Amino acid sequence: MEIRLEETTTRVTIGPDGQVEIADAAYVVTRVSSGIYRVTSGDRRWTVAVAGPADARWVSVNGRVAVVDTTPATSARRRTKSGGHDSTAAPMPATVVKILVEPGATVAKGDTLLVLEAMKMELPIRAPRDGVVKSIACQAGQLVQPGVNLLEFE
């Protein structure tokens, strides 16, 4: 199995009865309760929490948290990350406070395009690259959901 965490891929060799090999080291994994695992390697031991779907699996150990992808690499490459490099989506559900550009406006990378507000905080949405604004897909006062582009580039 291959586990991807950002740019790094970890190869895991799975044996029987919870035995696992990573980078020539042998581990034994025991399930303690739902989502909680005890991992041992020689006299070293860790308690690890795991939850979530195969393509966004959350893992935590000693207060460190990561989200990893355990799906086969080919399907991972086919998936587009939310919005890709041209994303102008809200990072979380938020309310549109201000729209600072109009369709046809020429903007430089990093220019603030919109201001959102959520949980007492202002969140600027900045231009992901130099370009021309094609259309605006939201209105001031609107509650917007993450993953949906709030304006389009030409």
Q: How far is the CB of 107 from another protein (least distance, A)?
A: 21
Q: Which is nearer to another protein, 94 or 136 (CB)?
A: 94
Least separation in angstroms between CB 53 and another protein: 9
Residue 66 C-beta: closest distance to another protein, Å: 6
CA distance 94 to 125: 11
Nearer to another protein, 104 or 147 (CB): 147
Contact (CB, 8 A) for 2 and 10:
yes
Which residues are near another protein by CB under 8 A? 1, 3, 5, 8, 10-18, 20, 22-23, 25, 27-33, 35-37, 39, 41, 44, 46-52, 57-66, 68, 70, 72, 91-94, 117-123
- C-alpha dist (Å) from residue 37 to 49, 57, 84, 89: 6, 14, 34, 36
Q: Which is nearer to another protein, 11 or 109 (CB)?
A: 11
CB of 110 to another protein, least distance (A): 15
| CB closer to another protein out of 1 and 132 | 1
User: Is residue 115 a contact partner of residue 102, using CB atoms and an 8 Å limit?
Assistant: no
Separation between Cα atoms, residue 134 and residue 154, nearest integer Å? 5
